[in-house]
Amino acid sequence: MNAANAPAASSAWLFFAFLTVACWGVYGVFLHTGTVGMQDPANGRIKAFLFVGLAYFLTAVLAPLVILASRGASLAFWSYPGKGFWWSLLAGAVGAVGALGVLLAFGAAPKPTASYVPVIMSIIFAGAPIVNAVVAFCSHPPEGGLSAIKPQFLLGIVLAAAGGCLVTLYKPDAPAAPPKAPSASAPVAPPPAPPAK
């Protein structure tokens, strides 16, 4: 790699990280909108999750198969190293269970659910980095162990937790319900009688 391409290559990870932030940032809102759009209070969440799975299949199964085939890589799953195979499968499973957890949280939230979507997603996106930091630290401890942890790192974890708590505790009130139009079957009051002469 020449020096001219170095800055672009070194910042590519940041672009893709923000791409993920943007996609996952709208995930909860889109998922709730899809659930409501199913117009099935009993099964709408599961129907929406079915289409999430279909989208995963299209983007996470078919697209990699095409890319691997175009690169001449082996498509024989049984030839992949066991560690890579099982850990990757586990990663997909926890991702899918997490997506299902989002839908179940929407279903268990007080009504109107739409006012709890930002709260649920904030808890998830504030809590997940904390879990990630702890698991990553335990799996791949830095040289020097606990003494290598900088106070700013710990402060970031505390602030992430505080952010999730503040969003939960001080979420905006639900929008006022629109006034109901009188139904056609409702009795209509007779017009007032004309005054007596």
Task: Determine the pLDDT at residue 171.
Answer: 80
Q: Which amino acid is at 164?
A: G
Task: Determine the pLDDT at residue 1.
Answer: 47
Q: Please check whether residues 99 and 25 belong to one and the same domain.
A: yes
Between CA 24 and CA 131 the distance in angstroms is 17
Task: Determine the pLDDT at residue 55.
Answer: 93
Q: Please check whether residues 94 and 158 belong to one and the same domain.
A: no
Task: Determine the pLDDT at residue 142.
Answer: 81
Place of tokens 């335990």: 138
Strands (E), 31-144: none
Instruction: Tell me how far the alpha carbon of residue 132 is from its chain's centroid.
Output: 15
Task: Determine the pLDDT at residue 188.
Answer: 59
Q: Please check whether residues 116 and 167 belong to one and the same domain.
A: yes
pLDDT along the chain (197 residues), means of 10: 53 88 89 93 92 92 93 87 92 92 89 86 88 87 81 89 86 70 60 66
Residue 157, classified by CB atoms within 10 Å of its CB into exposed (0-12), middle (13-18) or buried (19+), is: middle
Question: For residue 159, what are the domain limits?
Answer: 111-172
Other C-beta atoms closer than 10 Å to the C-beta of 51 total 12
Task: Determine the pLDDT at residue 62.
Answer: 93
- Whether 78 is in a domain gets the answer no
Number of separate helices (H) and strands (E) present in the chain: 6, 0
Q: Name the token pair of 130.
A: 């904390």
CA angle 113, 114, 120 (to 5 degrees): 75
